[in-house]
Structure 1
């Protein structure tokens, strides 16, 4: 009969694997979306995702899956501690990896306005026009810096001057969107930390069980 400790450990082990699946799915889908034709719905997200470490996210998820697979022997070998130790160190590695990804995205939010200006300047007039339509604005800083793109939103200089630049709404959108990404990464790190604690408790429990067996064997009870 499994103990409550083992049930909790197994539960968080599968949650850990599910986090790897979410990370893999998000990274792969984001890379696919970036290759799609730009539209009003995806233009801003795709520009921001282009600044995120998506390939590193795929690599991280692979490490998570490998760690989960290596944890299975620990579940089916109730007296073994070697597999548990290996899993514990690998979970620490995965947590550090994920934390690094989250911090890299968080750093992006600290320099949003400066980075977005460079991104805006590198994009084609089509992308700039889509951004203007999405955020109902003209130009980045204002209608002249850089010059706005003439489209249905910014039909002329007078309209462009009234609407103002995109720096405000675009930056606000970017901060909100990136906040969700790095918050999710930090949440995965939290799951990793709990799993490491579970591994440590299971190791302690098995160590005590081993000590009791040795005591019973010395007392002639055959390790029962």
Structure 2
């Protein structure tokens, strides 16, 4: 029967593995989604996720899976601390990797409007039109900068001038979406720290057990 410390470690390890599954599933879904034709409801999200570092996200998930596999020998050898320490360093690497990805998305929120202007200029006319339909706006800054795409929302310059540019609502949407992404990344780092704490407790317990066993052996009681 595993001790409370070991049980805590196993639970933390399961949560750690769960974060890897979450990152992998989200990345695969995003990679499939960016290949779909945009619609009014999905166009803003597609523009944003198309600039996500998908390969880095997948690499992060793979690192988490490899690190979890490394915990198996640590559990199968209840007296060894070498595998636990090695496992701890791998967890630290995963946490740093995830933190960098989260900080990257957080930095994007500091320059949202400038980034969105670049993204806007990269889109074909039909995608810009979908953005105008989604946010009921015309052009990026206003209907003249860049010039708006004529569609059902912006059929004329007079109506386009009254509706205003897309920068405001688009930026608000992007900031909310990116906030969710980097908050999730920081949450994963928090779970990594929980696993490290549980690892430290298991290492300390094994160290104490070894010390007591050596004391018993010196007293001629043998290992207990």
TM-score, normalised via structure 1 length: 0.98
Structure-2 separation of matches of 1:53 and 1:124: 22
Aligned to 2:144: 144
Query: Which residue in the other structure is 1:34 paired with?
Result: 34
Question: Do residues 212 (structure 1) and 219 (structure 2) align?
Answer: no
TM-superposed CA distance for 1:149, in Å, is 0.6
Q: Does 1:18 align with 2:18?
A: yes
Deviations 1:16-41 (A, max 9, x none): 00000000111111111001111112
- The aligned length equals 224
- Please list the CA deviations of residues 50-108 of structure 1 after superposition, one character each: whole Å capped at 9, or x if unmatched: 22212101000000000000101111221111110111000000000000000001111
Show the counterpart of 1:191: 191
**Structure 1, unaligned stretches of length 5 or more?**
none
Q: Which residue of 2 aligns with 1:88?
A: 88
RMSD: 0.7
Unmatched runs of 5 consecutive residues or more in structure 2: none
**C-alpha separation in 2, matches of 1:105 and 1:53:** 10
Cα distance in 2, alignment partners of residues 5 and 45 from structure 1: 43
Q: Please give the alpha-carbon distance, in whole angstroms, between the structure 2 residues aligned to 1:198 and 1:86.
A: 14
- With the length of structure 2 as denominator, give the TM-score of the two structures: 0.98
Residue of structure 2 equivalent to 1:67: 67
* 1:79 matched residue in structure 2: 79
Counterparts of 2:79 and 2:179 in 1: how far apart (Å)? 43
* Range that drifts further, 36-45 or 133-142: 36-45
1:103 aligns with 2:110: no
Matched position secondary structure for 2:137: coil
For residues 161 and 13 of structure 2, what CA distance do their matches in structure 1 show? Answer: 56
Q: Distance in 2 between matches of 1:100 and 1:40?
A: 32
Distance (whole Å) between structure 2 residues aligned to residue 163 and residue 99 of structure 1: 40
